[in-house]
């Protein structure tokens, strides 16, 4: 099981409930061997012009991961750029992937239209789905399952990875001799129609669909540091309470005596994450009858959030005081990840470059036999 995050700095509670909470649960499930990586190469696909913060942001993510409960004894925590095999596999996948596949990726078009402050007209940005595919399939072993935990909105990305893997296996895996002379797309079509099995050089990833609670920012929009509407896992109590006081509530509730609707209130969404059930039930009832005002409601939520975040922040402070230990954990994880990656790339190279095997055979022959 593999997942990763781009190094954008300290993480917020949206990252926790959107990914980290599930990652911790998965690492505790003996069915999964979990690999979690800092995607520092992916950061370059849109931010190549300024790399000054990548190293510090990588450290910050490592600290937050450990504070949130990821255990290097149960999960492999590593840095993408410390496993160069990712780049090699990305290169090989780029040789067989049609350009049109990349140009049709919905997020590619969407970001080209909406992001105006960065240069996205590069192959690095266009080809990020290939690098993403390389990240994933590097840790698949033939005959075993390979899964990516994603929400439904990310499912198309994994499906594209599956298509790329099928194309790769069809191009380089062992297939009947009668198909070898066919153009690749024709060959793949025949194999699909005749249900001819493909050698599993790379493993098709499966979806591990996850449900995540709705976590709006303090202004009701999607939580994001760039919007200034997030609460960080390292946030102090005073800052948390200040942000809670300024949170958006039910826009239709203009006066204290007006009944409210918790179903459209971001504060109530946060209550459901942090408050005990008794408080949730109370707020749900008393908001609708105007028995409780927004100020008191926010205060109750802030109390619960402060209590929830305290142990996370305490663990974070311990790791922050010993950054060398965090880097050691990432280095150790990167070494383990690279061992697995080297096995995968050995299989890939042997499949693609059969001439290398022949070369090794010739090199091992007695000189007289070669002559």
Instruction: Note the pLDDT of residue 213.
Output: 82
Is residue 176 scored above 90 in pLDDT?
no
In whole angstroms, give the CA distance from residue 122 to residue 120.
6
CB-based burial, 177-189: b 16+ in 10 Å, e otherwise? eebeeeeeeebbe
Q: With bands split at pLDDT 50, 70 and 90, how would you rate the model's confidence at 364?
A: confident
Cβ atoms of 217 and 227 closer than 8 Å: yes
Is residue 328 scored above 80 in pLDDT?
yes
Instruction: Note the pLDDT of residue 297.
Output: 97
Is residue 334 scored above 90 in pLDDT?
yes
pTM: 0.90
Q: Which residues of the chain form beta strands (DSSP E)?
A: 2-5, 34-38, 75-79, 147-150, 206-209
Average pLDDT value for residue range 333-356? 90
Q: With bands split at pLDDT 50, 70 and 90, how would you rate the model's confidence at 369?
A: low
Instruction: Note the pLDDT of residue 355.
Output: 53
CB atoms within 10 A of CB 359: 11
CATH of domain 225-320: 1.10.240.10
Q: Do domains 2-212+323-360 and 225-320 have the same CATH topology?
A: no
Tell me the sheet residues that pair with 78. 37
How distant, in Å, are the alpha carbons of 220, 225, 243, 330, 333 from that of 32? 35, 31, 38, 20, 16
Instruction: Note the pLDDT of residue 123.
Output: 92
Instruction: Note the pLDDT of residue 360.
Output: 67
- Sorted by where each begins, the domain ranges of the chain are 2-212+323-360, 225-320
What fold characterizes domain 2-212+323-360?
Rossmann fold (3.40.50)
């Amino acid at each position: 099981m593999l997942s990763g995050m781009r190094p954008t700095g300290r993480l917020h509670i949206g990252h926790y409930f959107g990914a980290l909470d599930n990652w911790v649960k998965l690492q505790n499930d003996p069915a999964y061997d979990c690999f979690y990586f800092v995607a520092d190469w992916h950061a370059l696909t849109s931010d190549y012009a300024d790399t000054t913060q990548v190293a510090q942001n990588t450290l910050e993510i490592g600290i937050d991961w450990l504070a949130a409960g990821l255990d290097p004894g149960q999960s492999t925590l590593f840095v993408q750029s410390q496993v160069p095999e990712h780049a090699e596999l990305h290169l090989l996948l780029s040789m067989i992937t049609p350009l049109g596949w990349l140009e049709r990726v919905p997020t590619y078009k969407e970001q080209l239209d909406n992001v105006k402050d960065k240069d996205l007209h590069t192959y690095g940005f266009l080809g990020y789905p290939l690098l993403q595919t390389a990240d994933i399939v590097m840790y698949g072993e033939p005959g075993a399952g390979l899964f990516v935990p994603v929400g439904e909105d990310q499912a198309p990305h994994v499906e594209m990875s599956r298509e790329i893997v099928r194309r790769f296996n069809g191009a380089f895996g062992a297939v009947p001799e009668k198909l070898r002379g066919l153009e690749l797309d024709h060959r793949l079509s025949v194999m699909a129609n005749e249900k001819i099995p493909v050698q599993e050089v790379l493993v098709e990833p499966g979806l591990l669909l996850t449900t995540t609670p709705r976590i709006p920012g303090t202004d009701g929009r999607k939580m994001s540091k760039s919007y200034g509407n997030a609460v960080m896992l390292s946030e102090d109590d005073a800052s948390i309470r200040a942000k809670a006081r300024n949170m958006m509530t039910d826009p239709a509730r203009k006066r204290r005596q007006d009944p409210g609707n918790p179903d459209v209130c971001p504060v109530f969404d946060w209550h459901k994450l942090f408050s005990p059930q008794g408080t949730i039930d109370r707020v749900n009832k008393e908001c609708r009858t105007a028995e409780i005002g927004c100020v008191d409601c926010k205060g109750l939520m802030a109390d619960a959030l402060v209590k929830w975040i305290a142990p996370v922040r305490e663990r974070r402070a311990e790791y922050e005081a010993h950054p060398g230990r965090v880097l050691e954990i990432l280095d150790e994880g990167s070494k383990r990840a690279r061992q697995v990656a080297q096995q995968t790339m050995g299989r890939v190279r042997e499949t693609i470059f059969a001439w290398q095997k022949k070369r090794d055979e010739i090199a091992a022959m007695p000189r007289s036999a070669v002559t």
